[in-house]
Amino acid sequence: MESKREELIAATKTLLWELGYEAMSPKKIMRESGAGQGSLYHHFSGKMDLAVTALSEVEAEMHGRFDRIFNSGKPPLARLFDYLGVKRYGLKGCRLGRLANESSIAEAALREPLGRYFRHVEKVITKTLAEAVARGELDPAVKPKPLAVAMVAAIQGGFILSRLHNNPRYIRLAAEGAAAMLQAHARKH
Q: What is the pTM of this model?
A: 0.92
At residue 110, the pLDDT reads 94
pLDDT band with cut points at 50, 70 and 90 for residue 189: low
pLDDT band of residue 2 (cuts 50, 70, 90) is low
DSSP state of 25: -
* Mean pLDDT within 117-135: 98
b (16+ CB within 10 A) / e for 152-163? bebbbbbbbbbb
pLDDT tens-digit profile of 70-103?
999 999 999 999 999 999 999 989 999 999 989 9
Kindly list the structural domains of the chain, giving each domain's residue range(s) and its CATH number in brackets, ordered by start: 55-184 (1.10.357.10)
Which residues, in sequence order, are bridge partners of residue 138?
186
Distance CA 158, CA 167 (A): 10
Rounded distance, CA 15 to CA 26, Å? 11
- Mean pLDDT in the chain? 95
Secondary structure of 27-72 as H, E, C letters: HHHHHHHCCCHHHHHHHCCCHHHHHHHHHHHHHHHHHHHHHHHHCC
Burial class (CB in 10 A: 0-12, 13-18, 19+), 76: buried
Mean pLDDT of 41-58: 94
The helix/strand/coil state of 139 is coil
Q: What DSSP designation does 86 have?
A: S
How many C-beta neighbours within 10 Å does residue 183 have?
11
Summarize pLDDT for 149-187 with one digit per residue, the tens: 999 999 999 999 999 999 999 999 999 999 999 999 999
